[in-house]
Amino acid sequence: MSLTRREMLAGAGKLIVLSSAAAAALKSAGAPAAETTSAERPYKMAEHWWGMTIEVDKCIGCGNCVRACEQENGVPRGYFRTWVERYHVDDWHSERPDVDSPDGAHDGFRPDPNRGGKNFMVPKLCNHCSDSPCVQVCPVGATFDSPDGVVLVDHKYCLGCRYCIQACPYGCRYIHPERQTVDKCSLCYHRIAKGLTTACSEACPTGARKLADLKNPDDPVHEFLRTNPVQVLKPHMATGSKVFYKSLDAAVR
């Protein structure tokens, strides 16, 4: 059963206006009608604003995150909600790095010890922007912002028109080969609404990527943002990205 507007307003604790597509999609994405995560602590969307932190220097390119996402979300083989890119930068060619991502790093990377210069890994996913171009161009409201800051897709409403794919500056969307609708990272909404972290964060052996609640004053993300050199991808696009990278090299595009 889809969420009613009365249930949405009561759960969020503030006035929230969603399209019918958005309200229905929240249910399918994992938000229960009563927004309950447990008997002790009900989930209130208005109390959260989700994002993610990524520490580039901790990523080892093992592919655990890619495989965990595939298994958790039923991502078809050869398609990716998250992937890892390997950058090789020569000291004199920093503006033109070599970038590879074999099969999205599903099975990691083969070592390449003979290359000089600088080598590092960059995990990528939907940036769950607060001013999302994809949301703005969707003609039917199938792509929408949840009240707690996650960009979601309602597959029942999606036309497969690909407008959002063209609008996304991060290349994080694809057409699902079976449904013929758009698919992308949902930040494991069905998990975070139950008090869990994302599958990719849980599977990361080095803690390179972590779910962040920007509304929670006790979340470590605030200390992380204060004490580290943090950037977002393509800041000139002014999308309000909520995926924050520590020590992101200027060569990353």
173-221 confidence digits (pLDDT tens): 999 999 999 999 999 999 999 999 999 999 999 999 999 999 999 999 9
**pLDDT band with cut points at 50, 70 and 90 for residue 44:** very high
Report residue 215: phi and psi, to 5°. Answer: -95, -15
The CA angle 132-134-139, to the nearest 5 degrees, is 125
H or E element that contains 53 = strand 50-55
124-167 confidence digits (pLDDT tens): 999 999 999 999 999 999 999 999 999 999 999 999 999 999 99
Please determine, for residue 8, whether its predicted confidence score (pLDDT) is greater than 60: no
**Cα separation, 219 vs 130, whole angstroms:** 19
**Structural domains in the chain plus CATH codes:** 1-253 (3.30.70.20)
Report residue 152: phi and psi, to 5°. Answer: -120, 165
Q: Tell me, what's the pLDDT at 4?
A: 39
Give the residue, 164 or 13, on which the prediction is more confident.
164
CB 69 within 8 A of CB 231: no
pTM value is: 0.83
H or E element that contains 84 = strand 82-89
Count of CB atoms situated within 10 Å of the CB of 150: 26
**Cα separation, 66 vs 116, whole angstroms:** 27
**Burial degree of 164 (CB within 10 A; 0-12, 13-18, 19+):** buried
**Cα separation, 47 vs 11, whole angstroms:** 10
H or E element that contains 120 = strand 118-125
Q: Tell me, what's the pLDDT at 26?
A: 61
Please determine, for residue 46, whether its predicted confidence score (pLDDT) is greater than 90: yes
81-120 confidence digits (pLDDT tens): 999 999 988 876 667 888 999 999 999 998 876 677 888 9
